[in-house]
Amino acid sequence: MDSYGDFRHIRYTIPLAVILTGLVYPFKTGIDNFKTIYLLIIAVVATIPWDSHLLKNEVWSYPNHAVIGHTLWRIPIEELFFFVVQTYITSLVCILVGKSIIPSAYLPTLPITPPSPSIEEAKPKKAKHKIQNDYKRLRRIGLFGAISILSCVIIGARLVQIGGHGTYMGLIFVWAGPIILFLWVLSHQYILSIPRRNVLIPILVPTFYLWFVDTLALKNGTWVINPEKSLEIKLWRYLDIEEALFFLVTNTLITFGQLAFDHALAVINGFPDMFDFPIPSWPSIMLMFNGLSIPVKKYSSKRILDLRDAIIKLQRKSRSFSLASSVFEGRLRIDLVFLYAFCRNADDLIDEAQTPEEARKALSKLSQAVLTAFGRNNEDILKPPLSMLYDLPEEMAASLESLPVKSLPLGPIQGLLEGFEMDLTFPAIDKKSEKSPASLSDDKFPIKTEKELEKYGYCVAGTVAELLLNLVFHHTPARFTSQDREDIIQAGVKMGIALQYINISRDIAKDALMGRCYLPSTWLAEYNLTPSMVIEKPDRPETRTLRKRLLCIAMDIYSKNRGMIERLPKDCGARKGVRAAVENYLEIGRVLLEQDGSNVVIGKNQATVSKMRRLGAFVRALCC
């Protein structure tokens, strides 16, 4: 079998486990430790009687020279260590691959039951049918899978009963089959809904690796499989089919175990209305089973679909925050994604309006809708959708309805909308007119002084920091004094302003196309420039100098407030996540400063950070 008496562990399994530990370390959360430790215990407890039985029945044996000699119920300690190290390796691969998804978004959905005909009209019929068909498909595959696993167990039992060559194969089916069946019944819908790579990579990659290591061990005679109890079919030279199957089956067990945990957490974290208490970082097994026992018909399809939309928005619109989101955990991660979607949709609603008039109307409707959303309580089941009440785009209304209003203050949301309103006070450029932008009236530009720029920065970004930190405080158990909170929020607000200055520095040319110049008029006047001149020609040596000035202020604010991030709680990935979000964005500023040194043209080279550099900044942020 798979005892690693000689140097197999030292050469192959331990180094891989160490490498994976290093790779997962930056992202690892409390829940990951919890899942892995549970699985390690289950793996050891479930495998000992089985392996001991195999040894007793001489299905396999090991030469004395190949093991240290210590045994537990006949099992060599190298073999026991193998159960641990394999479970650990496969769990880490599963955790690493799983970081890219938010499990709650992959819960199955039933078609939304329309509470009123008007919503029915609003939902595309095609999408509804797809959901219904998908759900039926999941059930069909689930049933087919269960029958297949059950058949393997029955065949296995028969092989064991007959004895002889089929014994080893039969024992694998009889032992692993029922556990796989149990996990499949619990979580097949989730397993089938998540991206294929999240299931196949943790099963197949460790399996292929262990096949390779096992081939070497069998070749060297580290252990010997009894030819009378095996089929004597080789997958390739030295590797018996039973050995190959053993690794495939055990990695499937470990992966399904990890995914069943994820499934339970997806339900518990995804539906705070059903589990309306803080989720401990080491949830009890009882709570996990409670999560798994909720029938799909009780899931809120709307919440799952809204979460999917919010994730798509985040992935499409912001690489920085999308990457940072993978570090946050559970409900905090979900709420941050909803917050992002709301902020992004609100910003787009204004920016994409055809005329300033239209933008003003949209903003006013949104402000009223925000008040209504914050005034509502959960018991109000018959609440009409905000999209209908305020004639807002479906996506905008959905992201507002998904905001965790109970854990957010209203003030910063209103501040954010005030910031968008400031954007509307820029003089409108008539895109059809022949007139040059230089004819725009310069006193109509709202950002005249550095103070006004700071106010704008507070409104559109300081408020975002305030909202984000309120979610952190809400979802983490750490108790702060009100003074601590105030200090952290103040630092966060300043950090938000710094990020906005970087955003402005990056987008000078893009903003000019929309008739906006955020560089203060007083700064421009020092170089005999006006905002309309910047709009007409954003790329000038003076603009580059001013951009550098703005970036230096941003970097200075950053250095003064960065330390406060270390006072954030570690729970839910909050500290690391905030650090990653800030550092990722800061990297844009660093690239811009480097480009200023080489006088890169503003606008031609939309300064973005290369993938590798972004990843480097991200990993550094997580490791420090």
Ligand X SMILES: CC(C)=CCC/C(C)=C/CC/C(C)=C/CC/C(C)=C/[C@@H]1[C@@H](COP(=O)(O)OP(=O)(O)O)[C@]1(C)CC/C=C(\C)CC/C=C(\C)CCC=C(C)C
**Stretch binding ligand X (CB under 6 A), from 102-110, 239-247, 318-326, 378-386:** 318-326
Both tokens of 405, joined, read: 């209003």
Q: Please, which residue, 328 or 390, has the CB nearer to ligand X? A: 328
- Work out how close the CB of 592 gets to ligand X at its nearest, in angstroms, rounded to a whole number: 12
- Work out how close the CB of 292 gets to ligand X at its nearest, in angstroms, rounded to a whole number: 27
Q: Confirm or reject binding of residue 321 to ligand X (CB under 6 A).
A: yes
In the list 93, 267, 332, 343, the residue contacting ligand X (rule: CB under 6 A) is 343
Q: Which of 167, 159, 161, 158 is nearest to 232 (CA)?
A: 167
**Stretch binding ligand X (CB under 6 A), from 42-50, 175-183, 474-482, 578-586:** 578-586
Q: Tell me if residue 61 falls in helix, strand or coil.
A: strand
In the list 337, 363, 398, 447, the residue contacting ligand X (rule: CB under 6 A) is 337
Q: Confirm or reject binding of residue 574 to ligand X (CB under 6 A).
A: no
Judge whether 474 and 407 are in contact, CB under 8 Å.
yes
Binding to ligand X, residues 484-543 (CB under 6 A): 488, 491-492, 495-496, 499-500, 503
Judge whether 386 and 342 are in contact, CB under 8 Å.
no
Q: In angstroms, how far is the first alpha carbon of the chain from the final one?
A: 42
Q: Confirm or reject binding of residue 582 to ligand X (CB under 6 A).
A: yes
Judge whether 331 and 577 are in contact, CB under 8 Å.
no
In the list 464, 509, 534, 592, the residue contacting ligand X (rule: CB under 6 A) is 464
- CB atoms closer than 10 angstroms to residue 51: 26
Half-sphere exposure of 248 (CA within 13 A, CB side): 11
Q: Confirm or reject binding of residue 60 to ligand X (CB under 6 A).
A: no
DSSP code at position 234: E
Question: Beta strand pairing status for 60-61 and 224-225?
Answer: antiparallel
**Stretch binding ligand X (CB under 6 A), from 148-156, 164-172, 457-465, 532-540:** 457-465
- Work out how close the CB of 533 gets to ligand X at its nearest, in angstroms, rounded to a whole number: 25
In the list 47, 325, 521, 532, the residue contacting ligand X (rule: CB under 6 A) is 325
- Work out how close the CB of 344 gets to ligand X at its nearest, in angstroms, rounded to a whole number: 4
- Work out how close the CB of 465 gets to ligand X at its nearest, in angstroms, rounded to a whole number: 3
Binding to ligand X, residues 537-566 (CB under 6 A): 561, 564-565
In angstroms, the CA 388 to CA 114 distance is 14
Q: Please, which residue, 83 or 518, has the CB nearer to ligand X? A: 518
The strand pairing partners of 75, in sequence order, are: 72
In angstroms, the CA 514 to CA 517 distance is 9
**Stretch binding ligand X (CB under 6 A), from 14-22, 227-235, 238-246, 464-472:** 464-472
Q: Which of 266, 273, 272, 274 is nearest to 292 (CA)?
A: 266
Both tokens of 376, joined, read: 């509502």
Q: Please, which residue, 440 or 591, has the CB nearer to ligand X? A: 591
Binding to ligand X, residues 344-383 (CB under 6 A): 344, 347
Q: Please, which residue, 302 or 317, has the CB nearer to ligand X? A: 317
In the list 102, 259, 336, 586, the residue contacting ligand X (rule: CB under 6 A) is 336
In sequence order, the 6+-apart residues with CB closer than 8 A to the CB of 217 are 2, 3, 4, 8, 223
Three-state DSSP string of 316-345: HHCHHHHHHHCCCCHHHHHHHHHHHHHHHH
In sequence order, the 6+-apart residues with CB closer than 8 A to the CB of 111 are 128, 131, 132, 135, 301
Binding to ligand X, residues 77-136 (CB under 6 A): none
In the list 1, 264, 304, 324, the residue contacting ligand X (rule: CB under 6 A) is 324
Q: Confirm or reject binding of residue 317 to ligand X (CB under 6 A).
A: yes
Q: Please, which residue, 173 or 328, has the CB nearer to ligand X? A: 328
In the list 87, 104, 320, 530, the residue contacting ligand X (rule: CB under 6 A) is 320
Burial class (CB in 10 A: 0-12, 13-18, 19+), 576: buried
Both tokens of 27, joined, read: 């992202």
* Contact set with ligand X (CB under 6 A): 314, 317-321, 324-325, 328, 336-337, 339-340, 343-344, 347, 460-461, 464-465, 468-469, 488, 491-492, 495-496, 499-500, 503, 561, 564-565, 577-578, 581-582
